[in-house]
Structure 1
Amino acid sequence: MGGVSALMSIGLFNIVGTESTKPYYEITAPVFDKVTIGLDNQYYKGKEFVIKTHNNSKENCYIQKATLNGEKLDNFWFYHEQFAAGGELEIWLGNTPNKNWGLRNNPPVD
């Protein structure tokens, strides 16, 4: 449970864990304004993965939009291989749900 709590606090979650053939993370509203995750080059291609949150507050708990490595992210998820390559996830929050964000594609089903 501690690992799940830590992932959700930084804005990532996955209901199926890493059991799928192509693991992915779902995006949640982070607790922190910025998190930098150092990636061990023995296991990952990238050096670090940064999660930045804009307009983060107790009231702003709804994701309005997101970008992954500067590109618009219309899904509420992204692949673990993208995380492993390093980069930056930016999340903008607001006080009302954006019912049009994150609907482009559903996560993969194995």
Structure 2
Amino acid sequence: MADIWDTVLDRLEADLAAVERGLGEQHPPSEAAVMAAQLGTWVPPRGLGPLPAHLLGRARALAAAQARVAERVDAVRITAGHHLTALRSVPSLPGQPAIFVDVEG
């Protein structure tokens, strides 16, 4: 049973590390928020059984790290929302054709 839990904790830690890497990148920071949202709610595999006592410390540390990263992801989400609101407040110029088209970007 401990081997299964080790595998499960490894996967959860890998998912968390991927989100943390995304938060550490400068452009675009919202990708971490998107990835975190895509991970969704964790559902334990069938037949997993209770967490072995010797893995309790690891699981608690992981849960604490997840909570810290969730706060950072939420802050990124809020910031992105403010940026979108600011962008939407800029009036568009109807009837103005594009001055140039970026064909290499």
Higher strand share: 1
Shorter-normalised TM range? under 0.3
Higher-Rg member (1/2):
2
* Higher RCO (CA 8 Å, separation ≥ 6 residues): 2
Higher helix share: 2
Q: What TM-score, normalized by structure 1, do the two folds share?
A: 0.20
Q: What TM-score, normalized by structure 2, do the two folds share?
A: 0.21
